[in-house]
Amino acid sequence: MREPLMTGGATPSRDAEFEPFLTAREVAERLRIAPCTVLRYFDDGVLPGRRLRVGPRRPVRFRWSEIEAALLEDQR
């Protein structure tokens, strides 16, 4: 069976389709800072992330590619 043609001639990789969300602790380990600092940077708009729900405990999740892009943009 033939695969459908994609515009641009590129086939998406599985990694490009799915990137796992990271917790503040996981981001903190990669950046070698405290998790509370990651959350403060998120609240200040320095790091991009997502709140998962509304309520008293609203966990934040991050995508590493977005963190890297924000840090690289900040260096310019």
Q: What is the pLDDT of residues 8-17, one digit of tens each?
A: 444 445 555 7
Residue 8 confidence (pLDDT)? 47
For residues 63 and 19, is the Cβ–Cβ distance under 8 A? yes
For residues 48 and 66, is the Cβ–Cβ distance under 8 A? yes
Is 63 exposed, middle or buried (CB count within 10 Å of its CB: 0-12, 13-18, 19+)?
A: middle
Place of tokens 């991009």: 48
Q: What is the domain count for the chain?
A: 1
In a domain, 66, yes or no: yes
In a domain, 3, yes or no: no
Per-residue pLDDT of the chain (76 residues; tens, 9 = 90+): 444 444 444 444 555 578 999 999 999 999 999 999 999 999 999 999 999 987 778 899 999 999 999 999 878 7
In a domain, 50, yes or no: yes
In a domain, 8, yes or no: no
Q: What is the pTM of this model?
A: 0.72
